[in-house]
Structures are given as structure tokens and as C-alpha cells.
Amino acid sequence: MPISIHHLRDGNASHWAVCRDGRWGELDGPLADLLAVPLDQARAAVEAAARQARGDMPGAETLPPVDRQEVWAAGVTYQRSRDGRKEESSGHGSLYDQVYDSDRPEIFFKASPWRVVGDRDAVGIRVDSGWDVPEAELGLVLNAAGEVFGYTLGNDMSSRSIEGENPLYLPQAKIYDRSCAVGPAIVPSWAVGPGPFRIGLRVLRAGREVYAGTTSTSEMTRDFTDLAGWLFRALSFPAGVLLLTGTGVVPGADFTTRAGDTIEITSEALGTLTNPVVAVGAAAPGKEQP
């Protein structure tokens, strides 16, 4: 990554820093400040910090690259995602064809900023779900005007068994503790251009690879500007927002993520997001854990 923006913690304090070629420079304020101003002004602030970069990482712990930003997500933006949704559904498959072909995309709320986990932190699978998968995605970091400030990697953890039972259960399939990972950093849009971005996914179990797949944002049926425009059509985000753009890597019906697994999402331009898997929640009353 030629230049990247990191959220760090040193003791009880958190702060933002810029890394360029292994050297670090402090930003004067939080990400929310950068996303509240025009893109050229935010770029000037980042470049000024990069010019002052020197020395080692100014912090002991890496945090998810959000502070006041909600995370939203788009679905069925790749043909493989459409096919996977149809595969898991019982009698509802035509709904996903309609979403894939429609002018209006599927966009849903994913996580409040305090629910987001970062690189090396644990993501979760629901105890009351029997079929769970990671969703490796490109994340758009959008400013208050809806412009692309930067890119990051995201993991939109999903219960395929819950969503497949009924599409109206999507919030329960998608929104729960530790269901959203973002990181490891933000790469500014001016540093890498508009893509396309190749994204890889690996799942390791006891150190052995049990699933691997790749995709590219060139395979998306919608572009970044279109998705951002729909998100901002009737919503405002004064401190900016993260929008996950959907996944083109969907494991087959014979695979489910398990507690103890490790998930790696990689992009040459954006780094690697690594998360161990834990079980979260409780089984439904009177029912055994799947």
C-alpha cells in the first residue's frame, strides 16, 4: 500500500495516522473530520501528514478504520451472489433475480461503528444458525457529499440458513454482534484509482485451508457511483459512511464456517484482513444448538 490511513490505540487514547513507505505521520483529527469536508481539502490534510511521516507506528493496537461512521452494505451485486442466494432459498429464488436486474439495488444497514471489529479481532457466527459464511467485500469510504474518499476491505458475515428460511429474516442473518469486520486500513482513492480490485478469500481450520476463492470488482453488475448514489438518495451522513459493495465469492452449500476457523480477506492494493471466528448468542429456547 503506497499510502494508508490507520486507526490506532495507545493506552486509553485512540488516534489516526498515515503510513507511507513504512513511515508514520499523525493526523490532526479523526476520520469524521476528513469526511465532513470536500475531497480536495481532505486530501491536502492526508498528504500533509504523509510529508511529515517518520519513525515507527505511533500506537500499540490497530482499531477498525471507523469512528463515527455507520456501515451499510449492498447485496446481489455479483452474479455469483445472486446464484448463492437462490441456492439457499426455499421458494424465494425469483426475488434475487428481480434485485439483480432491477435499477434499484438492495442496500441495508449492517453495523453501528461501535459494533465493527477490526483486523485480528474475532468475527462471529450465530449459535442459532447452522450454515454460516464470510462475505469478502470491497468497502467504499464515502464522505458527506457521497464522494469516494478511500477503500478498505470488509467481511459481511452472514447466516445463510436464517436468510434462506425467509428473506424477511435478513436483518437477523446479517446484523448481530461481531458480524462486521473492516480493515486493516483505508487506502485513499487518489492513491490507487478506481480499480478494478481483485479480492481473495481463505478460510483456515486448524491451520489447513478448507476454502479459497477469488473475485474482482470488474464482475460487479453495478458501479461504485451508482451504489453510492442510491445510498445517499434519501439519507445524509455528515461524518461519512462505509458502504460494503457485495461479494462475488460465495462458498457452496457443502461449506459452513465454524468457531475456531480463521478468515483471511486479501487485496494486493488494500492489504489483508484477518479474523478468527467465535460463536455468539444463544440457541432458541427449547432447541439444541445447530
Contact 93, 145 (CB under 8 A): no
Q: Which strands, in side-by-side order, build the sheet including 271-280?
A: 123-126, 271-280, 262-267, 198-205, 208-216
Joined grid coordinates for residue 260: 475456531
Cis before residue 184, ω within 30 degrees of 0? Answer: yes
Rg for the chain, CA atoms, rounded: 19
Record the pTM: 0.93
Helix (H, G, I), strand (E, B) or coil at 84: helix
| CA quadruple 111, 242, 154, 99: dihedral sign | positive
* Cell of residue 177, nine digits: 454482534
Question: What does the pLDDT profile of the chain (290 residues) look like in tens digits?
Answer: 689 999 999 888 899 999 998 899 999 999 999 999 999 999 999 999 999 888 777 777 899 999 999 999 998 888 766 666 656 566 665 677 777 788 899 999 999 999 999 999 999 999 999 999 999 999 999 999 999 999 999 999 999 999 888 889 999 999 999 999 999 999 999 999 899 999 999 999 999 999 999 999 999 999 999 999 999 999 999 999 999 999 999 898 899 999 999 999 999 999 999 999 999 998 877 665 55
Residue ranges covered by each domain of the chain: 3-63, 70-280
Pairing relation of β-strands 180-188 and 148-156?
A: antiparallel
Largest Cα–Cα separation, the chain: 61
Superfamily of domain 70-280: Fumarylacetoacetase-like, C-terminal domain (3.90.850.10)
From the list 220, 221, 202, 223, the residue with the least C-alpha distance to 211 is 202
Evaluate whether 202 touches 209 at the Cβ level (below 8 Å). yes
Q: Is the dihedral of CA 65, 69, 70, 73 positive or negative?
A: negative
